[in-house]
């Protein structure tokens, strides 16, 4: 038997225990229907946080759930039934409004869950918001967020995408640039024209800065009246880093190619000058010699120099092939037999010095 003097403490402890651990939903309202407290079960089921609920009028929540508001005069010891969506189920909550002490109301909600077939459109939209890459969001005519996808919520530092509802850019981590974002929103809504592919630098945190490309389009109702904007922002930081790296690599390649061209030009001059002298002197020598065998050797020296110069020019042309176009290429007929004979003739001095004989036997056909 509980003694009378301890009854108040007993019932207070029992109430606190029920408040913390009951599966029922408890909301404590003031006389003007402002939410004073909410128990853990209600926070979990309704996906709310204490700071988002306490000191707000109960009708504000009802409006967010598209439910009929209530008035204090009709609440005393009454009950109502509301239905909301939660975890892909329609949850019916039976609310009992009880008069409490100090002119307060206690709302007790009992949950009745009924699994239903979710419309395919709802499932598809849920998948779009969960898995769409990039940032997807939409705002009303006052640039107040109505919704976003999961990627946007993560970038904005929110634990759940539903938390963005009712917020403005001035309340998110990019608040320093909020004025420019709102100005773009209003420009799109006022003109009715989309703004596409706007590139900007966004400071997400002190340590993280991204490059993003944003497109915003007017959002319209069934009467084609503009009621807000829809925005898509894509993080292109990685692409920009690749572009920068490619640009640096291109500059380095061009610098290396320029150095190669300069080297070729210098080598061309340095080699051709003495080689031209050798060719000229061999020609003079051939003209001054009288003995046929000596004249033949001088002539061979001249031809060897000419062939070397020709080979040098071919090599230099091949090196410059980076700059050739398809139209620069040409076809030219040649005699394979003559090429072989010329090769043997050029190699004859070297083979003679080594006591070797070099001959070619080529079939006539």
What are the residues facing 139 on neighbouring strands? 145, 229
Most confident of 27-36, 56-65, 273-282: 27-36
Average confidence (pLDDT) over 252-279: 80
Please write down the HEC assignment for all residues of the chain: CCCHHHHHHHHHHHHHHHHHHCCCEEEEECCCCEEEEECHHHHHHHCCCHHHHCCCEHHHHHHHCCCCCCCHHHCCCEEEEEEEEECCEEEEEEEEEEEECCCEEEEEEEEEEECCCCCHHHHHHHHHHHHCCCEEEEEECCCCEEEECHHHHHHCCCCCHHHHCCCCHHHCCCHHHHHHHHHHHHHHHHHCCCEEEEEEEEECCCCCEEEEEEEEEEEECCCCCEEEEEEEEEECHHHHHHHHHHHHHHHHHHHHHHHHHHHHHHHHHHHHHHHHHHHHHHHHHHHHCCCHHHHHHHHHHHHHHHHHHHHHHHHHHHHHHHHCCHHHCCCCCCCHHHHHHHHHHHHHHHHHHCCCCCCCCCCCC
Report domain 242-327's class: mainly alpha
Burial of 160 (0-12, 13-18, 19+ CB in 10 A): exposed
pLDDT at 225: 94
Give the model's confidence band at 2: pLDDT under 50 very low, under 70 low, under 90 confident, else very high. very low
User: Where in the sequence of the chain do the CATH 1.10.287 domains occur?
Assistant: 242-327
253 or 329, higher pLDDT? 253
pLDDT at 3: 43
Does residue 186 register a pLDDT over 90? yes
Distance CA 145, CA 135 (A): 13
Say what percent of the chain tops pLDDT 70.
Answer: 84
pLDDT at 216: 96
Give the model's confidence band at 259: pLDDT under 50 very low, under 70 low, under 90 confident, else very high. confident
- Please state, rounded to an integer, the average pLDDT across all residues of the chain: 81
Distance CA 145, CA 138 (A): 6
On whether the pTM is more than 0.85, the answer is no
Give the model's confidence band at 67: pLDDT under 50 very low, under 70 low, under 90 confident, else very high. confident
Query: Which two tokens mark 151?
Result: 């990627």
User: Where in the sequence of the chain do the CATH 3.30.450.20 domains occur?
Assistant: 19-112, 120-238
What are the residues facing 95 on neighbouring strands? 80, 109
Average confidence (pLDDT) over 230-259: 90
pLDDT at 75: 66
Q: In CATH, which superfamily holds the domain spanning 120-238?
A: PAS domain (3.30.450.20)
Give the model's confidence band at 171: pLDDT under 50 very low, under 70 low, under 90 confident, else very high. very high
Lowest mean pLDDT among 104-113, 158-167, 266-275: 104-113
Contact at 8 Å (CB) between 348 and 358? yes
CATH code reported for the domain at 19-112: 3.30.450.20
Question: Tens of pLDDT along 18-51?
Answer: 888 888 888 888 888 899 899 998 888 888 889 8
Question: Tens of pLDDT along 83-119?
Answer: 776 555 667 777 777 776 665 777 777 776 655 566 7
Average confidence (pLDDT) over 215-232: 94
φ/ψ (deg, to 5) at 108:
-115, 120
């Amino acid at each position: 038997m509980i003694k009378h003097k301890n009854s108040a403490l007993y019932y207070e402890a029992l109430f606190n225990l029920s408040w913390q651990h009951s599966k029922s939903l408890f909301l404590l309202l003031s006389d003007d229907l402002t939410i004073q407290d909410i128990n853990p079960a209600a926070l979990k089921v309704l996906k709310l946080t204490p700071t988002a609920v306490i000191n707000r009028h109960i009708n504000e929540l009802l409006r967010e759930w598209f439910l009929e508001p209530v008035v204090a005069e009709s609440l005393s010891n009454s009950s109502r039934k509301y239905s909301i969506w939660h975890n892909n189920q329609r949850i019916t909550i039976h609310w009992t409004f009880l008069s409490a002490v100090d002119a307060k109301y206690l709302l007790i909600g009992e949950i009745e869950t009924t699994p239903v077939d979710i419309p395919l459109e709802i499932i598809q939209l849920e998948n779009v918001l969960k898995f769409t890459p990039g940032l997807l969001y939409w705002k009303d005519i006052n640039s107040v967020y109505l919704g976003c996808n999961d990627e946007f919520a993560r970038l904005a530092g929110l634990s759940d995408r539903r938390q963005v509802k009712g917020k403005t850019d001035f309340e998110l981590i990019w608040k320093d640039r909020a004025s420019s974002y709102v100005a773009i929103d209003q420009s799109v809504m006022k003109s009715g024209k989309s703004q596409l592919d706007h590139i900007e630098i966004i400071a997400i945190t002190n340590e993280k800065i991204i490059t993003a490309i944003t497109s915003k389009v007017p959002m319209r109702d069934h009467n084609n009246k503009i009621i807000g904007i829809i925005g898509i922002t894509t993080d292109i930081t990685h692409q920009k880093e690749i572009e920068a790296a490619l640009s640096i690599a291109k500059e380095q390649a061009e610098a290396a190619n320029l150095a190669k061209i300069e080297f070729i030009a210098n080598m061309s001059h340095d080699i051709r000058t003495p080689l031209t002298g050798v060719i000229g002197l061999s020609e003079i020598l051939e003209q001054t010699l009288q003995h046929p065998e000596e004249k033949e050797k001088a002539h061979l020296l001249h031809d060897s120099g000419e062939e070397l110069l020709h080979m040098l020019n071919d090599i230099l042309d091949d090196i410059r092939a980076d700059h050739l176009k398809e139209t620069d290429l040409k076809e030219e007929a040649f005699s394979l037999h003559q090429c072989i004979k010329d090769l043997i003739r050029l190699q004859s001095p070297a083979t003679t010095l080594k006591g070797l004989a070099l001959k070619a036997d080529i079939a006539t056909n």
